[in-house]
Amino acid sequence: MNTDAKRQLLRHTVATVAYRGGKAIANAPESFESFRSNETTRTPAEILAHIGDLYDWALSIARGKQTWNNSKPKPWADEVDRFFAAIRAFDDYLASENEIACEPERLFQGPVADSLTHVGQIAMLRRMAGGPMKGENYFVAEIEVGKVGAEQSAKRTEF
């Protein structure tokens, strides 16, 4: 697979994170951001802040100047905005002609794959907190490369 194809697959994966993550965080119950399943787990707000940190880290790796930050969570609405902004910044870099300073596979196996795990945690915590979301056949979802904001396709195959 050539680098352009790898870059496109990475961008599709990032668009998938935006789609699935957006669904997991949209219209969450008011108290959801501070829900804790037990005393040792992260809250949804802490997880969402971590995802923002992952995409900031991914962008720094792609630029060749790796930096990490452990952010303290902001209010939920601010973290939701940051989630999409961090994904957008990373996707914009991937969409540019700028060189990626590492193998795309390493970006996938590190920050991007980790973010998919955390989106799943948020979805599971929503159900535990009493704010379930509908399941969906993501195979047929209208996920588009470059579409990484809160506005996603309304056409869904939910069950």
Query: Under DSSP, is residue 31 helix (H, G, I), strand (E, B) or coil?
Result: coil
Cβ neighbours, 10 Å, residue 54: 23
What is the distance, to the nearest Å, from the Cα of residue 52 to the centroid of all Cα atoms in its chain? 8
Cβ neighbours, 10 Å, residue 120: 13
Residue 148 lies in a domain: no
Range of the domain at 82: 3-28+40-140
Render pLDDT for 97-148 as a digit per residue (tens, 0 to 9).
999 999 999 999 999 999 999 999 999 999 999 998 999 999 999 999 999 9
Number of domains in the chain: 1
Q: Which amino acid is at 131?
A: G
- The domain that contains 56 carries what CATH number? 1.20.120
Residue 155 lies in a domain: no
Please answer whether residues 43 and 70 qualify as being in contact, where contact means their C-beta atoms are separated by less than 8 angstroms: no
152: which residues sit within 8 A by CB, 6+ positions away?
A: 18, 19, 22, 23, 142, 143
Quote the Cα angle for 146-121-149, to 5°.
20
Residue 157 lies in a domain: no
Please answer whether residues 53 and 42 qualify as being in contact, where contact means their C-beta atoms are separated by less than 8 angstroms: no
Is the pLDDT assigned to residue 2 strictly greater than 70?
Answer: no
Render pLDDT for 38-89 as a digit per residue (tens, 0 to 9).
999 999 999 999 999 999 999 999 999 999 999 999 999 999 999 999 999 9
The C-alpha atoms of residue 84 and residue 86 are separated, in whole angstroms, by 6
Mean pLDDT (whole number) for 18-45: 95
- Burial class (CB within 10 angstroms; exposed 0-12, middle 13-18, buried 19+) of 52: buried
Quote the pLDDT of residue 1.
62
Residue 115 lies in a domain: yes
Residue 96 lies in a domain: yes
Please answer whether residues 47 and 118 qualify as being in contact, where contact means their C-beta atoms are separated by less than 8 angstroms: yes
Quote the pLDDT of residue 30.
86
Residue 35 lies in a domain: no
Is the pLDDT assigned to residue 6 strictly greater than 90?
Answer: yes
Residue 158 lies in a domain: no
Mean pLDDT (whole number) for 16-20: 98
Q: pTM for this structure? A: 0.95
Residue 151 lies in a domain: no
